[in-house]
Amino acid sequence: MAKSLSCSDAGADCGWSATADTEEELMAKATEHVKESHKDMEVNAELAEKIKSLIKEV
Ligand SMILES: [Zn+2]
């Protein structure tokens, strides 16, 4: 089973999504994306928790 995450699920007006085999890998991709494309957002523990709650099994 893979794990998937979409930025739009977090309420962002953004078409980004990613799939990875592990939660760790997906979190790394999401962190990189937020840093590159959502410079007004800070990747902190709160955001990491929110991202984790949005991860779907695909
Ligand atoms: Zn995004």
Provide the pLDDT for residue 14.
97
**In terms of residue numbers, what domain contains 41?**
3-57
Provide the pLDDT for residue 3.
98
pTM over 0.95: no
Helix/strand/coil (H, E, C) string of the chain?
CCEEEEHHHHCCCCCCEEEECCHHHHHHHHHHHHHHHCCCCCCCHHHHHHHHHHCEEC
Instruction: Profile the chain (58 residues) by mean pLDDT over runs of 10 residues.
Output: 95 96 97 95 93 96
Provide the pLDDT for residue 54.
96
Distance 15 CA to ligand 1 centre (A): 7
Provide the pLDDT for residue 51.
93
Distance 39 CA to ligand 1 centre (A): 10
Distance 1 CA to ligand 1 centre (A): 23
Provide the pLDDT for residue 57.
97
Structurally, the chain folds into a number of domains equal to 1
Distance 14 CA to ligand 1 centre (A): 5
Query: CB-based contacts of 54: which residues, under 8 Å, 6+ apart?
Result: 5, 6, 9, 10
Contact at 8 Å (CB) between 36 and 29?
no
Provide the pLDDT for residue 26.
97
Distance 33 CA to ligand 1 centre (A): 6
